[in-house]
Amino acid sequence: MNYEQIILDVIAPLVSLPDRLKVIPMDQENLYETVYIVYCDEKDIGRLIGKKGAVAEAIREVVNASAKLDSKKVKLKFEVKK
């Protein structure tokens, strides 16, 4: 499965500058777990994280629901694109 595309499809409607989004996979240490860093504009970081991390947690749940089909776990980290 292309998790980068799934992540982009989920978060693109939530931000005001979707062209500034970038999803980068980190080096895998574990075959069953992958970490992705989501870079966005500083204006949109609050929209992706939400109050008390509620939006970020919901995004993680949606992405992990699709990853369970492959018996994997996906972790997301949100960063501001500089």
Each domain of the chain, given as residue ranges in start order, spans 3-80
CATH number of 3-80: 3.30.300.20
27 Cβ contact partners less than 8 Å away, ≥ 6 residues apart: none
Long-range contacts of 64-68 (CB under 8 A, 24+ apart): 66/1, 66/3, 66/6, 67/1, 67/3
SS3 3: helix
pLDDT in tens, 54-77: 999 999 999 999 999 989 999 999
pLDDT in tens, 18-56: 999 999 999 877 888 999 999 999 999 999 999 999 999
Q: Count the neighbouring beta carbons within 10 Å of the beta carbon of residue 21.
A: 19
